[in-house]
Amino acid sequence: MLLNVTNIHKTYQAADGPFEVLRGVDLTLEAGETLALTGESGSGKSTLLHLIGGLDTPDQGMIMVDGRDIAALDDEGRAELRRGKVGVVFQQFNLIPSLKVADNIAFQARLGGRHEAGWTEVLADRMGLTPHLAKYPEQLSGGQQQRVAIARTLAPKPALVLADEPTGNLDETTAGTVMDLMLELVTEAGAGLLMVTHSETLAARMSRGLHLRAGRVA
């Protein structure tokens, strides 16, 4: 089992008191599976993804990634996880403006000591980015920038890819193309993908779907 999430609870302190966003979430994901996570705005999708990605810690529950409970890791352990085993893609591209495309793609892998020049080149090629490697992010379209962000996430060869509405800022056609590329690469790598999406069309391309409602998986 690549990912095993059990009984996750998370409460935020809001102005009018504590608010329990996640109330016992369970989910599993096998290597090679792609899972679409849907739910109304504010249902806790991003919160759940952040917890699984080790960007935040749950109040209760267990998150096993490849057999390790990441809720028990310290900051350094969780940072290390994100440089290697787990890759995260957000709706905002979060590219580094002062780095060329080639260096943005290699950034995460270099940080984690997992850089392989040959693989980075293959990724850039598959993503149609070879002609843009010497450019800066601001010289690219939104769809191209998101492909750079996805390539950067895939460069360290993560076993688990977490994506939070990764194509939410793109028009429908571009979103479809970017999504196809990501699904292809993730599937080929035998990685698992957990993706938050609003789009029924995109969700339908994935192997399974889960809906978050009232703090639980419905």
In this structure, what token pair is assigned to residue 87? 């890759």
Identify which range of 36-44, 89-97, 123-131, 187-195 contacts ligand ADP by CB under 6 A: 36-44
| Of the residues 41, 98, 113, 138, which one makes contact with ligand ADP according to CB under 6 A | 41
Amino acid at site 131: P
CA distances from 113 to 33, 80, 180 (A): 26, 10, 28
Closest CA to 151 of 197, 81, 102, 195: 102
Q: Does 104 bind ligand ADP (CB under 6 A)?
A: no
Give the residue with the Cβ less far from Mg ion, 38 or 46. 46
User: What residues pair up with 29 in beta bridges, in sequence order?
Assistant: 3
User: Using an 8 Å Cβ cutoff, are 106 and 115 in contact?
Assistant: yes
Residue 104, Cβ density class (10 Å: 0-12 exposed, 13-18 middle, ≥19 buried)? buried
Q: Does 21 bind ligand ADP (CB under 6 A)?
A: yes
In this structure, what token pair is assigned to residue 131? 């002609």
| Minimal distance, residue 186 CB to ligand ADP, in Å | 21
Amino acid at site 71: A
Give the residue with the Cβ less far from Mg ion, 45 or 82. 45
Q: Does 43 bind ligand ADP (CB under 6 A)?
A: yes
Q: Does 98 bind ligand ADP (CB under 6 A)?
A: no
Give which of Mg ion, ligand ADP, none residue 47 binds (C-beta under 5 to 8 Å, depending on kind): ligand ADP
Q: Does 146 bind Mg ion (CB under 5 A)?
A: no
Identify which range of 43-51, 66-74, 99-107, 131-139 contacts Mg ion by CB under 5 A: 43-51
| Of the residues 33, 45, 82, 106, which one makes contact with ligand ADP according to CB under 6 A | 45
Residue 142 to residue 92: CA distance in whole angstroms = 10
Identify which range of 38-46, 123-131, 142-150, 180-188 contacts Mg ion by CB under 5 A: 38-46
In this structure, what token pair is assigned to residue 149? 């962000």
Q: Does 46 bind Mg ion (CB under 5 A)?
A: yes
| Of the residues 1, 7, 12, 125, which one makes contact with ligand ADP according to CB under 6 A | 12
CA distances from 42 to 1, 39, 46, 159, 217 (A): 29, 8, 9, 28, 14
Give the residue with the Cβ less far from Mg ion, 90 or 144. 90
- 91 in helix, strand or coil? coil
Residues binding Mg ion (CB under 5 A): 45-46
Residues binding ligand ADP (CB under 6 A): 12, 14, 21, 39, 41-47
